[in-house]
Amino acid sequence: MLLEVKDLNTYYGSSHALQGMNLQVDEGELVALLGRNGMGKSTTLKSIMGLVKPRSGSVKFRGVDITGLAPFKVARAGIGYVPEERRIFPTLTVFDNLMMGVKRGKMVTGDPDAWTLEKIYSHFPVLEKRRRQKGHTLSGGEQQMLAIARTLMGNPELLLVDEPTEGLAPLMVKEVRDMLADVHKAGVSTLFVEHNLKVAMSLAQRLYLMGKAHLAFTGTVEELDAQPEIREKYLEV
Amino acid sequence: MDSTTAMYVAQGIHGLAYGMILFLVASGLTMIFGMMGILNLAHAAFFMLSAYFSYQALAMTGNYWIALLAAPLATAVVGVLVERFLLRKVHAFGHVGELLLTVGVSLVILDAVKAFWGTESLYVDLPESLKGLIHVGGLEYPVYRLFVIGLALVVLFIMAFLLYRTRLGMVVRAAVSDADMVNALGINVPLVFMLVFGIGTWMAGVAGVAIAPILTVFPGLADQMGMDAFLVVVTGGFGSLSGAFIISLVFGELSSYGVQFISALAPVLMFVLMAIILVIKPTGLFGERE
Ligand SMILES: Nc1ncnc2c1ncn2[C@@H]1O[C@H](COP(=O)(O)OP(=O)(O)OP(=O)(O)O)[C@@H](O)[C@H]1O
Ligand SMILES: [Mg+2]
C-alpha cells in the first residue's frame, strides 16, 4: 500500500471537518476523490500533507507513519501536492517556479525515469515557451500546468491534485485531463479531487465519494455508474 | 561656493544617511513581516542592542572596525536564538501570541540594557579616518555620513545579490508570497524563517552601529527608530523591499530638510506623507495586502 489514511479526525477550531476519514491509494493507481462543496476533500489532502494537523487517526506512506509531520517532511517522504488555487509564485519566473519544486536544490541525475527540466518541457511545451515570464502573467490553464510541473520537479511517488480543472475553459479542461493521464502513464500514482464528473469518471480507476466530513462510498467507476441513487445523493445537485 | 548651497548639500547628505540607516532597519522589518506574517515589535530593540554592543566592543578592544563587524553579528546571534527558541514555539498559537512575544522580548532587551549600561548617553568615538569633512568640487561633505551611505550601499548590494542571485533568495521571494506552498514543496521553511530573522536583525544591527556615533547610545534609540521604521513599512507596503527603500529615502530627506525649514512641522511631515499615500493606495506604495 502506497498511502493509507485511517480514521482521520481534523478540526478547524471547534468545527469537526474530517470525522473518521479513510482512504487508500495503491502503487500505480489513479484515484479520484469526489463530493459536493464543503464536504472535506481539500481538508483530506491538506491533512495528508501536514498543512493542517489532524487531531487523531493516522496517515501512512509506504507503511511509515507520517501523521502530522511538517509539510516539507511529507514532501521529502515522496508526496507531491498541487493545491486547489494553484498557488504559483507570482513574482517568480516560470523557470524559477519550476526550480522551487526541486528537492534540496539538487536535480535528480542518472535516473532515466526522473522528471528533469527536459522531460518537463517535453510534456509541457508551453512552459518552455513561457519560461522567462513571471508566474502571475500566465493564463489559468497555464498556471495549472505549471503547478503540476513544479510539483513533478520534486519527483514525487504520489501526486495529490486538488481540483485541477476548476475554472478552466472546456478546451483547457480536456488538456489538463489528458496531462494527468499522461503523467500517470509516466508512472506517478495519483489521488485527485474533481468536481467535473466526466473528467473524474474518464480518468480514475477507483473513486472515493465524500459526504459531510466522512467517506460515503468507495468503488470502481463501473460500480458508481450502476448506482444512480448514490450519485444523486452525494453528487448531483 | 556660497553658504546656502553648502547648507542644502549638507542637509541632503544628512537626510540620505538617515534614510539609508532607516532602510537597513525597515527592510528587515518588512522582510520578516512578508515571510512570517508577523510585525516584529522587538526589531528596533535589536537595533538599539547593537548600538550598545558596538559601544562595548569599542570599549574592550579600542578598535572601531572590530566593533563595526562584531556588534551586528552578536545582535544577529541573539535574533536567531529568539527566533529558534521563543518565536518558533508560539508560532502554532497564531499571530497575536507572536506579537505579544516580540513586545516581551523588546521589554527584556530594554531592561537588560539599562541594567548593564545604565540610562546615560554613551559616546562612541570614531577613528580619525572617519572624522571631519572632505572637500570635493568646492563642496564640503561630512566623512562619516558618506561612510554610512557607502556602508548601507554595501549591505544593500549584498542583500540584492542574496535575494536575486541565490537559491536562498528565490526561496525567500517565494515564501514572501506563500510560505505554506514553499513548505509543501519540500523546503525547510522554519529554517529559512530563522535565517531571514537572523539576516533581518543583522541589518538592524548594522544600522545600530552606524547611528551610534551620530546620536550617541541611549535606551530611547529604540522608540525613535521603531516608530520611523514602522511608518516606512506601512507606507511602502508590508513585505515590499522596494517600497521600503523609496519611502526610507523620502522620509530621510523629509526629516532633514523639514527640520531645516519648517522645524515645528517636521515631526508630522512623515505622518502627512503616509496619510496621503495610504488614502491613494491603502496597501502602501508597493504593498499587496491590507
Ligand atoms: N481554514 C479553515 N477554517 C475554518 N473552516 C474551514 C477552513 N477550511 C475549510 N473549512 C471548512 O471545512 C469544511 C471542509 O472544507 P474543504 O475545503 O475541505 O471542502 P471541499 O470538499 O474541498 O470543498 P470544495 O469542493 O468547495 O473545495 C467546510 O465546511 C469549510 O467551510
Ligand atoms: Mg476543496
Section B104-128 average pLDDT: 95
What is the DSSP code string of chain B? --HHHHHHHHHHHHHHHHHHHHHHHHHHHHHHHHHH----TTHHHHHHHHHHHHHHHHHHH--HHHHHHHHHHHHHHHHHHHIIIIIHHHGGG-HHHHHHHHHHHHHHHHHHHHHHH-SS-B--PPPGGGSSEEEETTEEEEHHHHHHHHHHHHHHHHHHHHHHHSHHHHHHHHHHHHHHHHHHTT--HHHHHHHHHHHHHHHHHHHHHHHHHHH-B-TTHHHHHHHHHHHHHHHH-TT-HHHHHHHHHHHHHHHHHHHHH-TTTHHHHHHHHHHHHHHH-TT-SS----
Q: Which residue has the higher pLDDT, B270 or A174?
A: A174
* Pocket lining: A187 vs ligand 1, CB cutoff 6 Å: no
Average pLDDT, chain A: 93
Q: What pLDDT was estimated at residue A113?
A: 83
pLDDT confidence tier of residue B222, bands split at 50, 70 and 90: very high
pLDDT confidence tier of residue B240, bands split at 50, 70 and 90: confident
Section B75-101 average pLDDT: 92
Please give the residue of chain B at the shortest CA–CA distance from A49: B184
The CA A42 to ligand 2 mean position distance, Å, reads: 4
The CA A37 to ligand 2 mean position distance, Å, reads: 7
Q: What pLDDT was estimated at residue B38?
A: 84
* Pocket lining: A37 vs ligand 1, CB cutoff 6 Å: yes
Domain B3-280, CATH: 1.10.3470
pLDDT in tens, B157-208: 999 899 999 999 999 999 988 999 999 999 999 999 999 999 999 999 999 9
Task: Kindly report the protein residue whose alpha carbon is nearest to atom 6 of ligand 1.
Answer: A12
The CA B179 to ligand 1 mean position distance, Å, reads: 20
Question: Is pLDDT of B115 > 60?
Answer: yes
Closest chain B C-alpha to A103 CA, distance in angstroms: 6
* Pocket lining: A78 vs ligand 1, CB cutoff 6 Å: no
**Cβ pairs bridging A and B (under 8 Å):** 61
Question: Candidates A23, A37, A43, A45: which one to mutate for ligand 1, based on the most atoms within 8 Å of Cβ?
Answer: A43
Range scoring the smallest mean pLDDT among B65-79, B210-224, B260-274: B260-274
Q: What pLDDT was estimated at residue B289?
A: 53
Question: Is pLDDT of A68 > 60?
Answer: yes
Task: Kindly report the protein residue whose alpha carbon is nearest to atom 30 of ligand 1.
Answer: A38
Section A14-34 average pLDDT: 96
**Percentage of residues of chain B with pLDDT beyond 90:** 66
**Percentage of residues of chain B with pLDDT beyond 70:** 98
Question: Is pLDDT of B290 > 80?
Answer: no
Which residue of A72, A136, A160 is the best one to mutate when testing the B interface, meaning the one whose CB has the most B CBs within 10 A? A72
Q: Which residues in A have their CB inside 8 Å of a CB on B?
A: 49, 51, 70-72, 74-76, 81, 83, 87, 89-92, 96-97, 99-101, 103-105, 150-151, 154
